[in-house]
Amino acid sequence: MLKLSILDQSPVSSGFTHSEALQQTIALAQLADRLGYTRFWVSEHHNSAGLAGSSPEVFLSTLAARTNRIRLGSGGVLLPHYSAYKVAENFRMLEALYPGRIDLGIGRAPGGTPHTAKALRGVGADLFEGLERFPAQVTDLLRFLTDSVEPGHVFEGIRATPLVASMPQVWLLGSTGQSGVYASQAGAAFCFAHFINGAGGQHAVRSYRSSFQPSALNVVPQATVCIYVLCAETTAEAEELATSIDLRILQMEKGEFTGVKSPKEAAEYTYSDWDQTRVRDNRSRMIVGSPSLVREQILLLAESYGVDEVMIVAGGYLAETRMRTVELLAEAFELSHQHSYVI
C-alpha cells in the first residue's frame, strides 16, 4: 500500500494572523496523526508575510507533545545558515524526547531573500560561500549524529548531546538533481520537491538510487516526492478552491510574498497573458480533483517516481479546505487500515 505524508508550510491566509496559522498547523498534525498518515513535516521560511514557520526544531517539540504516533520532521532545516553541530544537538534532543518519531530534513535553499540571509548569518556573511560549504556541512552533521568523528579531525572528542541510542532519520530535500547527488553520497534519504519544480524529478530520483552509497544512515536508498494537492467532493468544487493555490504560486514567482488569497480574491485578480501561461504551466506541480481522480493521479505520480510514499502539501485558502483534503485522501487510500495506534 502507498504511504501518505504531509508537509505543511503554515500558510497565512489573507485575514488571518501568523499565530492562527500555527494553530492551524497543530490541528492538521493532530488530524493526520488520527487518520494514519506516515509523517508530518514543517518548513522553514524567514521574513515572510505569507508563511509563519520560521523555526521547525522549536515547532516540532510542540507537535510531538500533541500527537501520538506520527513521525514528525523538518522540511527542512536550512543548513547553510547554521552550525552543523548545533543542528545535530537540536535533533538529538528531539529524538531523546520522542524516540523513533523524528525526521531531520535538511536543505540548502536560503528560505528568504539574500538580505534576510545576511541577518541570519551575520552582516559580513557570504551567501554563496555558505552554499559551497553545504556538502562539508552535511558530512559534519552526519559525523555528529553517528558519533563518527575521526581521530585527528578538528572536531575529535566532541559529541552531540544528549547521548541517545537512536537517531533521527536524515533526509536531504531538493528541487534539482544536485540535492539527490548529495543525498546519495551521504547515504541519506531523498525527498524531491515536485511542488516547487514539476519537471525532472523522476530523473533525479533514478540518479539518486543508481549512485546511492550505503551508510550508517541507510543500507538501501529511500525516496519520496512532495506535491500540492487539493481534494474536494467533486472536481468542480476542487477546481474552484484551487484558484487560491494558482494565485499564490504565481505571486511567489513574481516576488509577491503575501498571504493566500480567497477564491473570490483570485477571481477578481487581473491576470496578464504571461500570468495565465504561468498558471497553466504550474498545474504540473499540483493534483486537483475529486477523491477518485486525486487517488488515481497520486498513484500514477508514485509509479513514475518509483516510490512507495507520497508527501502532500494540502492547499487552499481556509484551514477547513486543507483538512478536508487530508480527510478525503485518508478515506480514498484507506489509511486507517494500514496503522494501529493508541489515541
Take residue 169 and report the three cell numbers written for it: 532519520
Q: Which pLDDT belongs to residue 87?
A: 98
Angle at 313 between CA 249 and CA 41, to 5 degrees: 125
User: Can you tell me the distance from the alpha carbon of 98 to that of 113, in angstroms, rounded to the nearest whole number?
Assistant: 33
Residue 281 lies in a domain: no
Mean pLDDT across the stretch 221-227? 98
How far, CA to CA in Å, does 318 sit from each of 6, 42, 245, 273, 323? 17, 18, 11, 28, 9
**Residue 214: is its pLDDT beyond 90?**
yes
Could you tell me the pLDDT band of residue 343, with boundaries at 50, 70 and 90?
very low
**Whole-model pTM?**
0.94
pLDDT of 194: 98
Query: Mean of the pLDDT values across residues 145-150?
Result: 93
60, 86, 165, 210 from 33: Cα distances, Å: 14, 29, 25, 33
Environment class of 255 (CB within 10 Å of its CB; exposed 0-12, middle 13-18, buried 19+)? exposed
Q: How much is the average pLDDT of 161-180?
A: 95
- Does residue 270 sit within a domain? no
CB within 8 A of 69, min separation 6: which ones?
33, 101, 339, 341, 342
Does residue 266 sit within a domain?
A: no
How many Cβ atoms sit within 10 Å of the Cβ of residue 64? 19
Residue 100 located in a structural domain: yes
Q: How confident is the model at residue 340 (pLDDT cuts 50, 70, 90)?
A: very low
Q: Is 244 among the domain residues?
A: no
Q: Is residue 119 part of a domain?
A: yes
Overall average pLDDT of the 286-298 stretch: 98
DSSP bridge partners of 286? 228
Give domain status of residue 279, yes or no: no
* Full domain range(s) for residue 291: 3-233+286-337
Residue 327 maps to which CATH number? 3.20.20.30
CB 73 within 8 A of CB 39: yes
Each residue's pLDDT tens digit, 326-338: 999 999 999 976 6
How many domains does the structure of the chain reveal? 1
- The pLDDT, as a whole number, for residue 126 is 62
**Residue 211 belongs to some domain of the structure:** yes
Q: What is the mean pLDDT of residues 49-58?
A: 95
pLDDT band at 241 (very low <50, low <70, confident <90, very high): very high
* SS3 (DSSP) at 50: coil
